[in-house]
Structure 1
Amino acid sequence: MSNYYLPGIIAGYSQGHFLMADDEDSDLQWYSSSEHALIPLDDRFRYPTSLRRVINQNRFSVRINGDFRAVVAGCADRDTTWISDELQEIYWELCQAGWAYSFETWQGNELAGGILGIAVGAAFIGESMFFQIPEGSKVAMVHLVNHLRRQNFQLFDAQMTNPHLERFGAYTIDTKTYQDLLATAIEHKCKFMPTEYESVGMGSIVK
């Protein structure tokens, strides 16, 4: 069990802050940014034609919380990571409490990739993503956006943009604009897990 109080963590995210460590051995700190990157949930969302072909080939199945811990570990597995062991445990506690989710792609019984995030009201705050099989995380992104649309989410926060996310239409906004959008989004009630899959961690398959 971490020393962090889960409602306090959710309050922090609800104000536009996020937890991270400078490296795997550092203490966790709250951070904020002068601008935030958003993934559009409207017709500004886009992806390459080559990825569309991969999706149409049905190479991957999609699950929610099929293996949450493996997704977190995959996101943390890099030369320099901000996801310390303590933060991994916090994510697990948030998952068990119904706040954090892993949106995953699978190829047979092998985890192909996944996106880790926190859902607060109608806002989904993406924390990290990874892949083990090429295109695994990209396919997860497309299906996640479609899932958020079906669940009536209003905001998909990617925190910081990069050339990879910009291929999906990611764009940045200033902190004041972001906080206004976030405040509106968290006032709405949305379920990230579809109603028929409310139990956390049961590895639901998204239809």
Structure 2
Amino acid sequence: MEKAAFEGWLESVSTTFLALSDQQRNQSLDHLISLSGAAQLRHLSNRLEALLKRDFLRLLPLELAFYLLRWLDPQTLLTCCLVCKQWNKVINACTEVWQSVCRDLGWRIDESIQDATHWKGVYLKAKLRMKQLREEDAFETSSLIGHSARVYALYYRDGLLCTGALLFIVVCLGVQTHSMSCFEKVTGGGRSPVFLPLVSNCSSRNFLSL
């Protein structure tokens, strides 16, 4: 069929189709589908997917998209971030949503920070710490060994933990450096006792006066 004749036929069919009832339109489509080959069915499938499966988050104005996102719980928001790049971009741009999520956790919100990714990071870190607390894995534990006798005194200052025992020995442990120095009480000339290094990784001139 020539192009001009086809266009005239198509216009005539379209006019007639619009005059049909819904039931007649459906019957007409069913009949056309039954006459279609693989190429037509493939074309129909592609067209239907675009018509029926619309990405509402992509098509909606950002204001409406942000409003809808406020109704989602945090875990659903994180799941939606995995749908596609566009969804991830929209969700990570909604500052109010992530501020609200952090506020629900009891976080104090600084309104001057309007970076949505910042508040998303705050939420993820808080959730990780809460998970670690539940699993008793939030803090590292260390066993400090230095005394053979019972410890009766503890003193901490500037990252240095000092312990005193019955045997007149003071052990100083560097909490951050993991170093250890031992001092033994000796008789000093003054009123305060003087402790000299017993086993130490410090200079021999170092001493501890109490």
Shorter-chain TM band: under 0.3
TM-score by length of 2: 0.18
Q: Which has the higher helix share?
A: 2
Q: Which structure is richer in relative contact order (CA contacts within 8 A, separation 6 or more)?
A: 1
TM-score by length of 1: 0.19
* Larger radius of gyration between Structure 1 and Structure 2: 2
